[in-house]
A and B are shown apart, each in its own frame.
Chain A
Amino acid sequence: MNCVDFVELVTEFLEGALPEADERRFIEHLAECSGCESYLDQFRQTIATTGELTPDNISPDARQQLLSAFRGWHRQ
Chain B
Amino acid sequence: MAGARELPPDEVLVQRLRDGDEQTFTQVLDTWSSGMLRLAMSFVSTKASAEEAVQDTWLAVIKGISDFEGRSSLKTWVYRILVNTAKARGTKESRTVPFASLLPEEEGPTVDTSRFRASGEQYAGHWAVGQEPRPWHVPEDYVLRGEVREVIAEALDELPPRLRTVVTLRDVAGYGSEEVCSLLEISPGNQRVLLHRARAFLRRKLEEYVSGAHDVAGGRGRP
A interface vs B, CB < 8 Å? 2-5, 7-8, 10-12, 15, 17, 33-36, 38-39, 41-43, 45-47, 49-59, 62-63, 65-67, 69-71, 73-75
Contacts and interface: CB of A to CB of B under 8 A. Distances in A.
B35 interface: yes
Nearest to B189: A17
B170 to A, nearest CB: 9
Nearest to B195: A11
A50 B133 CA distance: 20
CB-CB nearest 5 A-B residue pairs: A35-B132, A74-B20, A2-B125, A11-B196, A38-B133
Contacts of A56: 34, 37-38, 47
Given A7-B200, A35-B132, A58-B54, A49 B148 contact: yes
A49 to B, nearest CB: 5
Query: Secondary structure at chain A's binding surface: helix, strand, loop or mixed?
Result: helix
Interface stretch (B7-15, B22-30, B91-99): B22-30
How large, as a class, is the contact surface on chain B? 35 or more
Contact of B127 (A35, A46, A73): A35
Contact of B1 (A5, A7, A51, A73): A51
Contact of B149 (A35, A52, A63): A52
B47 to A, nearest CB: 8
